[in-house]
Amino acid sequence: MNSIPSQCDLLVIGAGAGGLATAISARKQGLNVVVIEKDQVFGGTTAFSGGVLWIPGNRHGRKQAPDDSRDKAREYLRNETADFYDAEQSEAFLRKGPEMVDFFEDNTSVRFIPTLYPDYHPDVAGGVDIGRSILAAPFDIRELGDDMKRMRPPLKTITFIGMMFNSSNADLKHFFNATKSLTSFMYVAKRLAIHLKELLLYRRGTNVTSGNALAARLAKSALDLGIPIITGCAVKELLQHNGRVIGAAVQQGGQSREIRAERAVVLACGGFSHDVKRLAETYPHLKRGGEHFSPVPDSNTGDGARMVEQLGIKVDCVYKDAAAWMPVSLIPDGSNKPAVFPHLLDRYKPGVIGVTPAGSRFCNESNSYHDVGVDMIRSSHRDRDGDSSKGKDTFMWLICDQTTLKKYGLGFVKPAPLPIGKFLRNGYLKTGKTLDELARAIGASSATLVNTVAEYNAGAVQGKDLQFGRGTTTFNRYLADPENKPNPCVAPVAKGPFYAVKVYMGDLGTFDGIRTSTYGEVLSNDNTPMPGLYAVGNDRRSVMGGNYPGAGITLGPIMTFGYITGRHVAGIRDLDDLKGTTATTQANTTEEPRHGHAIG
């Protein structure tokens, strides 16, 4: 058990990317920083994520897309965030994002590699086909030493016997082609051999990728700087004196303590993805009586927002889409709480289509998970009697034929030669020899489903999606199958038996939440900063305005604003020239923070 200090300069509550980036940035300016985490492991939602950051103008992207510019990125953000565009915070993000990347790569164990990700809407003015998304480099968590056991494992449902895949199309291509290419077979065999050795020696994979690598690299950097990460330590309440937040009352292992923070307390509690009450008041499909399942850590219960409200500050959710929507399926495992599987890849593959409960297509399945989620929530779900009113249920069925299932798998079902019998028996995978049989198995209208597939196939045989234009953007094609000609996203659904997986609405983290200044100061009801209190990560209202413009638009701003906040607590106010750009973020502190001493 970590010992709890009684005082520090900065207390950070939460050990995900937001909290750790803030802690490291403040520590490098000489502050005494303590990080506490209520889970027994550190890494937060970051450890479950793809580990991608959207940072226009980053040092890696400038080599890939030398013609990109801050002006183009600003135009794209303005178009994507629409009515929720915040000029001041957007400008701060665009200005400081590349600087943040340089800082972490030059001063810590954090390393990034370029990706080939296009923006999610590259056809929107200001969008680009490459250069803005970077990925955490793989990491050997044995470098954490004894703290390796406190590192949050990756999300189990997106690993293969515990082995992680890189969040890159190139890595995944080898696994899909392992039975067709000697090069891919050797690549996969080597990865499996290394992973099995790790399991024998450490009972977990030690060569981690994606968000697990980012979380581990940040934790290693913090620990190397002497920042304690105290796990299993929950906050009971914030402490105040003369209207200023001065620390927190915490509990660890049944023992209660107080930690006094001379400079500030930073909330980095991960948002409210599992705050049942707030979700019921915020998510439209839950308001209708539908269901929602989130794969993010169960500990993301809205603690940050609740602590702010206990201070008398309102936390209103104003975005039309309060979270990063993610279509998910539930994997029966014999427990009362099935495992949640996020549908990150299968929707892009040719021969997979999504239909409403009645059996109609309703969207471009190769759009981003958030966009498909938006369409799921907005779409009219017709019941079996043809009633066009919105039903309480928000779900879809992903449909494919035998050829597609064998080639790509579907949801948690893996491609051939891995068996599918288990999933047919436990009900995860529905099947029918004909579309009519499949419709009966999933409770859809037989006539509707048969007509939907026929309508889709009419274009698909020519590589076209005549209904929704699937495959017409670089992002649509990025995670599809380039070997499928002429359209990597489109193939007919033709050869029985046919299969279906039920897909619900889920999320990868919340967008809405605590209002802050550009520096991260929590804003009171009168729009002035609450002295001594900041918010970062998913606790802080996202600069993206409830939209999802590109791969990494959560972690990119999270680490950038964590960097800004950590430096501001240490007295660096290098964004004051942006003050007043927008009325929503005008906030002036009542006293000038004292400067710390830089650590090299």
Burial readout 197-234 (b: 16 or more C-beta within 10 A, e: otherwise)? ebeeeeebbbbbbbbbbbbbbbbbbbbebebbbbbbbb
Q: Where are the alpha helices (DSSP H) in 82-209?
A: 87-107, 169-176, 182-202
Joined together, the tokens standing for residue 561 give: 């604003």
Beta carbons of 162 and 205 less than 8 angstroms apart = yes
List Cβ<8 Å contacts ≥24 apart for 585-590. Answer: 585/86, 585/88, 585/89, 585/517, 585/518, 586/527, 587/517, 587/518, 587/519, 587/521, 587/523, 587/527, 587/528, 587/529, 588/528, 588/529, 589/521, 589/529, 589/531, 590/528, 590/529, 590/531
**SS3 state at 71:** helix
Cα(263)–Cα(56) distance, integer angstroms:
32
Q: What is the pLDDT along the chain (600 residues), one digit of tens a residue?
A: 468 999 999 999 999 999 999 999 999 999 999 999 999 999 999 999 999 999 999 999 999 999 999 999 999 999 999 999 999 999 999 999 999 999 999 999 999 999 999 999 999 999 999 999 999 999 999 999 999 999 999 888 876 656 656 555 566 666 666 767 777 778 777 777 877 877 787 777 788 999 999 999 999 999 999 999 999 999 999 999 999 999 999 999 889 999 999 999 999 999 999 999 999 999 999 998 889 999 999 999 999 999 999 999 999 999 999 999 999 999 998 777 889 999 999 999 999 999 999 999 999 999 999 999 999 999 854 433 344 444 567 999 999 999 999 999 999 999 998 999 999 999 999 999 999 999 999 999 999 999 999 999 999 999 999 999 999 999 999 999 999 999 999 999 999 999 999 999 999 999 999 999 999 999 999 999 999 999 999 999 999 999 999 999 999 999 999 999 999 999 999 999 998 765 443 333 333 333 333 444
Cα(20)–Cα(148) distance, integer angstroms:
16
First to last CA, the chain: 30
Cβ contacts of 410 within 8 Å, gap of 6 or more: 346, 352, 398, 400, 404, 429, 499, 501
Instruction: For 10, list phi and psi in degrees, rounded to 5.
Output: -130, 125
Cα(366)–Cα(148) distance, integer angstroms:
37
Cα(426)–Cα(331) distance, integer angstroms:
9
Closest among 240, 231, 248, 94 to 149, alpha carbons compared: 231
Closest among 541, 555, 544, 567 to 16, alpha carbons compared: 555
pLDDT at 184: 75
Beta carbons of 105 and 111 less than 8 angstroms apart = yes
Beta carbons of 381 and 279 less than 8 angstroms apart = no
Cα(544)–Cα(302) distance, integer angstroms:
20
pLDDT at 156: 81
Cα(396)–Cα(425) distance, integer angstroms:
21
Domains and CATH numbers, the chain: 1-155+210-321+511-600 (3.50.50.60), 165-204 (no CATH), 324-507 (3.90.700.10)
Q: How far is CA 317 from the centre of its chain?
A: 19
Say how many C-beta atoms besides its own lie within 10 A of residue 454's C-beta. Answer: 11
Cα(105)–Cα(368) distance, integer angstroms:
29
Cα(406)–Cα(506) distance, integer angstroms:
26
pLDDT at 381: 43
pLDDT at 596: 39
The DSSP annotation for 397-410 comes to EEEEEHHHHHHH-B
Tokens 């980053």 correspond to what residue?
58
Cα(384)–Cα(443) distance, integer angstroms:
8
**SS3 state at 173:** helix
Say how many C-beta atoms besides its own lie within 10 A of residue 549's C-beta. Answer: 25
Closest among 129, 130, 85, 96 to 25, alpha carbons compared: 96
The DSSP annotation for 286-336 comes to HHTT------S-TT-S-HHHHHHHHTT-------SS-EEEEEEEEE--SSS
The DSSP annotation for 108-144 comes to SS--EEE--PPBSSTTSTT--SSSSEEEEPPEEGGGG
Cα(252)–Cα(235) distance, integer angstroms:
9
529, β-bridge pairs: 523
Burial readout 351-387 (b: 16 or more C-beta within 10 A, e: otherwise)? bbbbbbbbbbbbbbbbbbbbbbbbbbbebebbeeeee
The DSSP annotation for 531-546 comes to EEEEE-GGGBPPTTTT
Tokens 């209520």 correspond to what residue?
38
Cα(565)–Cα(545) distance, integer angstroms:
20
